[in-house]
Homo-oligomer: A and B are copies of this chain.
Amino acid sequence: MIEQSAFTVEPWCLRECNLQLDLLAQAESLFALSNGHIGWRGNLDEGEPHALPGSYLNGVYELRPLPYAEAGYGYPESGQTVINVTNGKLIRLLVDDEPFDPRYGQLRAHERELDFRTGLLLRKAEWVSPAGQAIRLTSTRLVSLSQRAVAAICYEVEAVDDPARIVVQSELVANEQLPDPNGDPRVAAALKDPLIPEAHGAYAATADLVHQTQRSGLRVAAAMDHTVEGPEGTRTTSESFPNLGRVTVTTVLHPGQRLRLIKFVAYGWSGERSLPALRDQVQAALTAANHTGWHGLCAEQRDYLSDFWSRADVEVDGDTKIQQAVRFSLFHVLQAGARAEQRAIPAKGLTGPGYDGHCFWDTETFVLPVLSYTVPSAAAHALRWRHSTMPKAAARARQLGLHGVAFPWRTIHGEECSSYWPAGTAAFHINADIADAVIRYVAATGDTDFEAGVGMELLVETARLWCSLGHHDAQGRFRIDGVTGPDEYSAVVDNNVYTNLMAQQNLDAAAALVEKHPDRARELGVNAEESARWRDAARAMTIPFDDLLGIHPQAEGFTRHQEWDFAATSPDQYPLLLHFPYFDLYRKQVVKQADLVLAMHLRGDAFTAAQKARNFAYYERLTVRDSSLSACTQAVVAAEVGHTELAYDYLTEAALMDLKDLENNTRDGLHIASLAGSWLALVAGLGGMRHYRGVLSFAPRLPAGLRKLSFSIYLQNQRLYVDIGQADARYTVSDSRPLRILHHGTPGVIFPHQPLVRPIPPPPHALTDPQQPIGREPLRRRRRRTQE
């Protein structure tokens, strides 16, 4: 947990007013900069103190053997782990004889600020060396959203009281020493010295390093150039070694004098291109950055973000903390996906090595819904990356004895990297999640080229998977046995409702596309018999229901299991998976994360309102939220069934997941999906937005503490602005086309220049608040606010 006072509450930035050494690790993640291609953790410029230095390139990984004490057929033999690439953000500072290090001397002031509108990480410090020499320091860092190979730093030192001899060493460092990881399985496996030096060089104020990874065979190049402004006599030299490029600037500063160093860094990597080609590519990027110049890069950054906020901003009136959190969230979601460009969006973005840098279903289910309605090009890129891994997914399906494609549970490059199959390979729902993201992206954008191309291939091959994975029973019901749903406290179950409903949608959508694009269908080898089988499987899909309890069991038999003994579980035994064996978790009614409740969000069309209310209450009692992928979904469904204040609580939890370090692992990187979830909790939760089968609907309702919530979404290039108050909601379109929506179930048409205003009805029933497991209630937002 991060204490209240660590960061200020401001609507457009995250500000840390003092350097807090005990929060160094979390701050490194929170202040991380990324454009989806390059990621730099928020390490101090001088390198130390640090918790975990981190520089990442999307797609750069090393292989490591996956050990098994008892091997089994089809277990992946090799894992992929994101590696810490060449560190280009290091700028060491020597003041007289002493290295600038806040742990020594006296740090009079230290402030950091991540500005969501400029995309800059600003830092100001005033430090007195142990020998009594005072200096002022400012640094501004960016990872360019407009030039994806480029990052830059403006670093300024000023003498305060006495003349100071200053040495600045700006470096590229490969194979940095990293701290030993702890035993938490969620933390990345360490890889020592993963980069083999290939070439290095230095001249004038530049240096470059080229390396290759040993087993994955990827070539990584980094280069830097500098602009130096200082008093007369300032000298610049450069040198290079296999793992070190260094540009050194020396000067003597008199009080009021200032040394200013602008560092441009360019990165490139490839599994194919030769050393000279890659070196040239990086030099070219560096030249372009130099030509644009520092101010030019800052201006491009601001323009890029200005456009983004005009499309995607969410305004929350009445709760500045949530306002800040949702912008922080959107900023980081953008950073993760903006320029990924046919690479994966990992669970942690490029903010840390958590989960080995792997991409999971998080992307399609939580991140792409945000991007599809705000930055659809980024959503398309992410899906094109999935599509590019289809040959590997097809090979995996064949290995498992299945047709179509079986996408990996966790991967960087496309191969399955999960070594515990009951929680990995068996989680087949990822295939339907990808299909769901395709369907949503096409519905949001109307991108028919994508639909008939990449989209249709993904839907057809995943439909084939479901058809071979399931089977008909003697009564003709289509069953999907032995799979794992989203809830990781159950595994290898029969007819998980979430999986079956998502597969049903997948099969239906594939059949519909076959009808719509018959030529493409022929190209993909689909005939009428095959698509008829898909429709039949979808129609006959088994959806278990417990008549006695009047609710949907999460999977067949679930409601007959013993309920977890929450009363006997102490607060320090959460997360349960670190204190109880899977054996025990799997066999009891205890839910790590929304599963049936997620089905009610994504396939709400398959449930009645009464079922939703009963189901929600039932699963609330069992859900411990040991996963960051739960609170946002609980917010969405709580809002739908009328628990508006509870939705507000869950929304808060999702929004503050990292700002408060609620799961105590923000050090390893941010929870990108949970950040995206704060948008979902607001837009799909309080805003009640749904988009089933092409019908866009809203059911807005605000908690008492909020005055207003407004947001924009893009629907087929048309901007819809939704402005929700306590009493009514106002819908405005920016385009010349009218737009049909449902407002709380009632159809309405929004005409251009004529906002649709509709009153907000009272909540559906007088529902009593559902109970959560003892000690696992979300913090009440209203109570919290009075404490703030």
| A577 and B72 contacting across the interface, CB-CB below 8 Å | yes
In the complex, chain B residues whose CB is within 8 Å of the CB of A491: 492
Query: A426-B583, A583-B421 in contact; A562/B67 too (CB < 8 A)?
Result: no
1/0 per residue, CB under 8 A from B, across A465-481: the answer is 00000010110000101
Q: How far is the CA of A439 from the CA of B13 in the complex (A)?
A: 72
- Known contacts A72-B577, A421-B581; 11 additional CB pairs below 8 A are A66-B69, A67-B68, A68-B68, A70-B418, A72-B582, A73-B580, A400-B581, A482-B561, A482-B587, A494-B587, A556-B557
Copies in the complex: 2
| B67 and A69 contacting across the interface, CB-CB below 8 Å | yes
Q: Tell yes or no: A737 within 8 A of B by CB.
A: no
CB nearest to A569 among chain B residues: B401
| B583 and A474 contacting across the interface, CB-CB below 8 Å | no
Q: Tell yes or no: A419 within 8 A of B by CB.
A: yes
In the complex, chain B residues whose CB is within 8 Å of the CB of A471: 562
| B581 and A74 contacting across the interface, CB-CB below 8 Å | yes
- CB < 8 Å: which of B67, B72, B582 contacts A581? B72
Q: How far is the CA of A548 from the CA of B418 in the complex (A)?
A: 39
| B70 and A419 contacting across the interface, CB-CB below 8 Å | yes
Q: Tell yes or no: A183 within 8 A of B by CB.
A: yes
Which residues 51-74 of A sit at the B interface, judged by CB distance below 8 A?
Answer: 66-74
- CB A66 to nearest CB in B, in angstroms, measures 4
- CB < 8 Å: which of B66, B73, B584 contacts A401? B584
Residue with the highest number of chain B CB atoms closer than 10 Å, among A401, A425, A479: A401
| B74 and A420 contacting across the interface, CB-CB below 8 Å | no
Chain A contact residues: helix, strand, loop or mixed: loop
- CB A713 to nearest CB in B, in angstroms, measures 38
Q: Tell yes or no: A271 within 8 A of B by CB.
A: no
Q: Tell yes or no: A578 within 8 A of B by CB.
A: yes
| A492 and B586 contacting across the interface, CB-CB below 8 Å | yes
Q: How far is the CA of A66 from the CA of B587 in the complex (A)?
A: 25
| B73 and A577 contacting across the interface, CB-CB below 8 Å | yes
Q: Tell yes or no: A770 within 8 A of B by CB.
A: no
Q: How far is the CA of A423 from the CA of B70 in the complex (A)?
A: 10
Q: Tell yes or no: A579 within 8 A of B by CB.
A: yes
What are 23 inter-chain pairs, A to B, with CB distance below 8 A? Answer: A66-B69, A67-B67, A68-B419, A69-B79, A69-B420, A70-B419, A71-B185, A72-B185, A72-B582, A73-B578, A73-B580, A74-B580, A400-B581, A400-B583, A426-B583, A471-B562, A479-B560, A481-B588, A482-B587, A492-B587, A494-B561, A494-B587, A557-B557
- CB A503 to nearest CB in B, in angstroms, measures 15
Q: Tell yes or no: A748 within 8 A of B by CB.
A: no
- CB A668 to nearest CB in B, in angstroms, measures 15
Q: How far is the CA of A562 from the CA of B401 in the complex (A)?
A: 14
Q: How far is the CA of A185 from the CA of B66 in the complex (A)?
A: 15
Which residues 683-711 of A sit at the B interface, judged by CB distance below 8 A?
Answer: none
Q: Tell yes or no: A422 within 8 A of B by CB.
A: yes
In the complex, chain B residues whose CB is within 8 Å of the CB of A588: 481-482
- CB A400 to nearest CB in B, in angstroms, measures 6
Query: A401-B580, A471-B562 in contact; A420/B481 too (CB < 8 A)?
Result: no
- CB < 8 Å: which of B69, B185, B418, B482 contacts A586? B482
| A481 and B587 contacting across the interface, CB-CB below 8 Å | yes
Residue with the highest number of chain B CB atoms closer than 10 Å, among A183, A399, A560: A560
In the complex, chain B residues whose CB is within 8 Å of the CB of A73: 577-582
Q: How far is the CA of A588 from the CA of B480 in the complex (A)?
A: 11
In the complex, chain B residues whose CB is within 8 Å of the CB of A72: 185, 420, 577, 581-582
CB nearest to A475 among chain B residues: B548
In the complex, chain B residues whose CB is within 8 Å of the CB of A492: 422, 491-492, 583, 586-587
- CB A359 to nearest CB in B, in angstroms, measures 17
Q: How far is the CA of A482 from the CA of B423 in the complex (A)?
A: 15
| A557 and B421 contacting across the interface, CB-CB below 8 Å | no
Q: How far is the CA of A70 from the CA of B426 in the complex (A)?
A: 15
| B400 and A584 contacting across the interface, CB-CB below 8 Å | yes
| A474 and B68 contacting across the interface, CB-CB below 8 Å | no
Q: How far is the CA of A749 from the CA of B422 in the complex (A)?
A: 56
- CB A547 to nearest CB in B, in angstroms, measures 13
Closest 9 CB pairs of A and B: A482-B587, A69-B419, A67-B67, A74-B581, A471-B562, A66-B69, A481-B587, A70-B420, A71-B185
- CB A229 to nearest CB in B, in angstroms, measures 51
In the complex, chain B residues whose CB is within 8 Å of the CB of A583: 74, 400, 421, 425-426, 482, 492
Q: How far is the CA of A261 from the CA of B72 in the complex (A)?
A: 49
In the complex, chain B residues whose CB is within 8 Å of the CB of A419: 68-70
Query: A400-B581, A577-B73, A582-B421 in contact; A560/B473 too (CB < 8 A)?
Result: yes
Q: How far is the CA of A483 from the CA of B471 in the complex (A)?
A: 24
| A494 and B71 contacting across the interface, CB-CB below 8 Å | no
In the complex, chain B residues whose CB is within 8 Å of the CB of A494: 557, 560-561, 587
Q: How far is the CA of A471 from the CA of B72 in the complex (A)?
A: 32
In the complex, chain B residues whose CB is within 8 Å of the CB of A548: 474
In the complex, chain B residues whose CB is within 8 Å of the CB of A474: 548
- CB A621 to nearest CB in B, in angstroms, measures 15
Q: How far is the CA of A425 from the CA of B580 in the complex (A)?
A: 13
Q: How far is the CA of A580 from the CA of B73 in the complex (A)?
A: 6
In the complex, chain B residues whose CB is within 8 Å of the CB of A71: 183, 185
- CB A159 to nearest CB in B, in angstroms, measures 52
In the complex, chain B residues whose CB is within 8 Å of the CB of A421: 581-583
Q: How far is the CA of A400 from the CA of B582 in the complex (A)?
A: 10
Q: How far is the CA of A67 from the CA of B330 in the complex (A)?
A: 40
CB nearest to A73 among chain B residues: B581
1/0 per residue, CB under 8 A from B, across A377-412: the answer is 000000000000000000000011100000000000
In the complex, chain B residues whose CB is within 8 Å of the CB of A584: 400-401
